[in-house]
Amino acid sequence: MDEKRFRFDLLVALVALAISGVAAGSSAYQTYVIRKQFSATVWPYLNFITSTSNDKYFELDVTNPGIGPALILDALVTRDDKAVVGPQTPSNQPALLIATKPERDAAKEDEAKSGTHGDRELTSTILSGDVLSAGQKLELLRVDGKSITRRIVAGIRHVDVTLCYCSLLGDCWTKRLWDPDVKPHSVSGCPRA
């Protein structure tokens, strides 16, 4: 009788162990699903947008049409694949202003030769630590005027912008202005500048 009772107790214990294992696995999977659903509610998605109109203006913007804030952890502006901000460049100037200097100088020469004036430029800087809220647009570069617009449009492909950004949950991506793949690239983390 004791042997049958021992077998029955062992069977009950094994069944209880199996049920608790299934419950633990189910709980872990449910936690995974909830995290995935939550990460979708804080998902940033950065885009670059360029626009121009008949030599009147050129504009370069970065937008976040995602549903969560983008925490910018690294921002790099290059000209012909070389970083434009470094030890020899003045850090008080926006990187896009430095990167478009050849086009801006050529536009000033055009204005001087033609005797016209009125070209205007506006640049903004995006830095490590900046936050781009969901639905927010940041105007990085805007030029108005025929001469400067023509020069910027002709030379803008020499300039590139790369952003590394993360969601509130620490998922990170990179986005490059002239990347042929329009989607951001998932990365394990961003370098800290």
Residues 66 and 26 in one domain: no
In sign, the C-alpha dihedral spanning 134, 152, 160, 127 is negative
Residues 54 and 87 in one domain: yes
Residues 76 and 146 in one domain: yes
For the chain, give the DSSP string. Answer: -HHHHHHHHHHHHHHHHHHHHHHHHHHHHHHHHHHHHHHHHT----EEEEEEETTTEEEEEEE--SSS-EEEEEEEEEETTEES-STTS-TTS-HHHHHTHHHHHHHHHHHHHHT----EEEE----TT-EE-TT-EEEEEEEESHHHHHHHHHHGGGEEEEEEEE-TTS-EEEEETT-SS-SPEEES-----
Residues 28 and 51 in one domain: no
Residues 34 and 112 in one domain: no
Q: Please answer whether residues 58 and 149 qualify as being in contact, where contact means their C-beta atoms are separated by less than 8 angstroms.
A: yes
Residues 20 and 68 in one domain: no
Residues 68 and 136 in one domain: yes
Q: Residue 135 domain-assigned?
A: yes
**What is the per-residue pLDDT for 125?**
82
What is the number of structural domains in the chain? 2
**What is the per-residue pLDDT for 128?**
82
Residues 32 and 57 in one domain: no
pTM: 0.75
> What are the pLDDT digits (tens) for 156-191?
999 999 999 999 888 999 999 999 988 899 999 998
Q: Residue 193 domain-assigned?
A: no
**What is the per-residue pLDDT for 36?**
67
Domain of 86 in residue numbering reads as 47-187
Q: Residue 52 domain-assigned?
A: yes
**What is the per-residue pLDDT for 38?**
62
**What is the per-residue pLDDT for 4?**
64
Residues 75 and 167 in one domain: yes
Q: Residue 192 domain-assigned?
A: no
Residues 22 and 78 in one domain: no
**What is the per-residue pLDDT for 120?**
83
Residues 65 and 127 in one domain: yes
Task: Report residues of the chain scoring pLDDT below 70.
Answer: 1-6, 35-41, 86-92, 192-193
Residues 163 and 112 in one domain: yes
